[in-house]
Amino acid sequence: MAHEVRTPPLQSATVAAGQSVVSPSLMDRVDAALEGLWHLLTSMRVAMVLMIVLAALCVIGSLVIQIPTGTGDDPLAKSQWLDGIRPRFGGWTTVMDALGLFDIFNSVVFRVLVAALTISLIACSVHRIPGALRTATKPRVDVGPGFFEHAPQREQIVVHGTAADTLATVRSVLKKRRYRVLAEDDGTIHLYGDRYRFMAFASLAGHISLVLILLGAIIGTSFGFKNQYFVVPEGSTVLTGTEDGLSLKLIDFTDSYNVTNGAPSDYTSQVVLLKNGQQVAAQTIRVNEPLSYDGATYYQRAFGPAVVMTIKDAAGKTVYSEGMPLDGSSTDGSNRSAGSLTLPGTGDLINVFATNGTSDTTIQPGQVQVILYAGGANTATDAKVFDQGKAQALGSYSVTFDREAKYTVLSISKDPGQLLVWLGALLLFGGFTLVFLLPQRRVWARISTRGAMSVLSVASLGRRDVALGTDFEDLITDIRAALQAPAPA
């Protein structure tokens, strides 16, 4: 489409003697800054740069091992995790941690970029709405001759007939193809036709859907909760961390196995949710039957061995009496299941080890070994092997190995932005489906008189390598056939 640009003459830079130069006011500067910011936000180049940088960070996050959820909030757990991966990255471990490469998706840089992209997409969508609305309701009908000379799809037909007859024929063909037709006559007849005129908003829905998905992700990471390794031994009650005062108690864990190959066939966790000590939910959780409560979902993930122990201090007061998960392993090469805990209010560390089988000469089946590190000392204060149900002294404590048990591993997920993500995904799918099935068609025509004949120029913005090209060619074929058909009697 041809556009004429008129450049006004430049004002003289010479200032008359005695005339003062008026500097821009504060409001002028604010207006200029806001206008520049708006142009920056509505720039597709800026949006593309943000997308490319975010994509690069996502690639890094998928290639570099990421710290488990919640570990980064515990300095001791994070230090132990970094020590575990230090042999892989060597001296670069500290540098990569400082750059946030082990926690890309929770880093400030990643969140700022996501927020910037979200704002940019909102600005681009708002910027496009007036143009899309104007195109759908008040399209430009009279385009200049240059458009018909340079349009990607164009055709010129010399017609033996009047301009009015040609207009009637072209209008009829467009109507049959379900086009809306608008015409203007300023001595030359201008014709505009479109089909599926509101489909521009379907493509705009793609921008809006990305905004919804990004907003959902921001809300989910900022206000959501995720713990993929929530361990609860049988008989124990553990705070969930999803909200204040909410805890989960594992009443019973049951596992069953395939008698043919010994593989687990089913395992269930009978749990109770307690809010400030009062039951608010209860369910038997299976792999495909999670528990949902107050926006959080509890999934069954894994299980393992545990021990129930009772520990009393020198005054006979019970300082610990519940299940302990043996979710670790010994470091001496014996391959024993191990667990540890720090006794509340004491700083004393207890390590518990189970037998590795009948070949274990130190710990027999039905026994556990308990090691005490008083005050968190690096060397053991006392160590004994305990039979089930028999109390023994361990340092200043009396310890009873009550029974063997199981622990369950649940995955807890609470994502308040999930609804926005699903809505955005649905809008994205629906918008692209409509765009592909019902693409917008726009065509312009110009009818001029040349003696006893008229000249019909038709043009479209479609390219020859897309479906619009084929549609344009079919339209021209129909127009030619209609113009050559004999007039009805």
* Token couple for 251: 């009443």
Half-sphere exposure of 94 (CA within 13 A, CB side): 1
Residues 22-47: tens digit of each pLDDT: 677 777 777 777 777 777 777 878 88
CA angle 159, 135, 425 (to 5 degrees): 125
For residue 390, count other CB atoms closer than 10 A to its CB. Answer: 10
Whether the pLDDT of residue 286 is over 60: the answer is yes
d(CA 151, CA 146): 8
Are 300 and 290 in contact, with CB atoms under 8 Å apart?
yes
Q: In this predicted model, what pLDDT tens digit does every residue of 471-484 receive, in sequence order?
A: 888 899 999 999 88
Question: How many C-beta atoms lie closer than 10 Å to residue 208's C-beta?
Answer: 18
Contacts of 428 (CB under 8 A, 6+ apart): 205, 206, 209, 210, 213
- Cβ proximity of 202 and 138 under 8 Å: no
- What average pLDDT does the segment 170-184 reach? 93
pLDDT of residue 265: 80
> Residue 365 is which amino acid?
P
| Closest of 200, 182, 80, 79 to residue 139, by C-alpha | 182
DSSP three-state, residue 236: coil
CB-based contacts of 348: which residues, under 8 Å, 6+ apart?
Answer: 342, 372, 373, 374, 375, 376, 395, 397
Instruction: Tell me which of 158-172, 209-223, 413-427 is least confident.
Output: 209-223
The pLDDT value given to residue 5 = 40
DSSP letters, 127-185, are: HHHHHHHHHHHS------HHHHHH-SEEEEEEESS-HHHHHHHHHHHHHHTT-EEEEEE
Look up residue 258 and give its DSSP letter: -
In this predicted structure, what is the pLDDT of residue 393? 93
Distance CA 478, CA 170 (A): 9
* 3-class SS of residue 345: coil
CB neighbour burial string for 55-75, b if at least 16 within 10 angstroms, e if fewer: eebeeebeeeebbebbbbeee
Q: How confident is the model at residue 421 (pLDDT cuts 50, 70, 90)?
A: confident
Who's near 58: CB < 8 A, 6+ residues apart? Answer: 104
Average pLDDT estimate for 180-197: 91
Over residues 119-153, the pLDDT tens digits come to 888 888 888 888 888 888 889 999 888 899 888 88
CB 445 within 8 A of CB 140: no
* Parallel, antiparallel or unpaired: strands 278-285 and 337-342: unpaired
Say how far apart CA 367 and CA 369 lie, in whole Å.
7
Report the pLDDT value the prediction gives residue 72, as an integer from 0 to 100. Answer: 66
Residue 65 banded pLDDT, cuts 50, 70, 90: confident
Residues facing residue 159 across a β-bridge:
454
pLDDT of residue 387: 92
Q: Take residue 7 and report the two structure tokens written for it.
A: 């450049």
* Cα(154)–Cα(461) distance, integer angstroms: 9
Q: Does pLDDT of 245 surpass 60?
A: yes
* pLDDT bracket for residue 307 (50, 70, 90): very high
CA pair distance 39, 43, nearest whole angstrom: 6
User: For residue 416, what is the DSSP state?
Assistant: T
CB-based contact 250:234 (threshold 8 Å): yes
Closest by CA to 283, choosing from 295, 267, 270, is 270
* pLDDT confidence of residue 465: 45
Cβ-contact 308, 391 below 8 angstroms: no
Give the pLDDT band of residue 250 (cuts 50, 70, 90): very high
Q: Is residue 460 classed as helix, strand or coil in its secondary structure?
A: strand
Q: What is the pLDDT of residue 463?
A: 54
Residue 127: the pLDDT is: 83
- Please give the average per-residue pLDDT across 275-288, as a whole number: 92
Task: Return the DSSP state at 361.
Answer: S
| Neighbouring residues of 265: CB distance < 8 A, sequence distance ≥ 6 | 256, 257, 258
Predicted TM-score of the model (pTM):
0.60
Amino acid symbol at 70: G
Phi, psi for 207 (deg, rounded to 5): -65, -45
According to DSSP, the residues that pair with 239 across neighbouring strands are 247
Q: Which pair of structure tokens corresponds to residue 191?
A: 């014709």
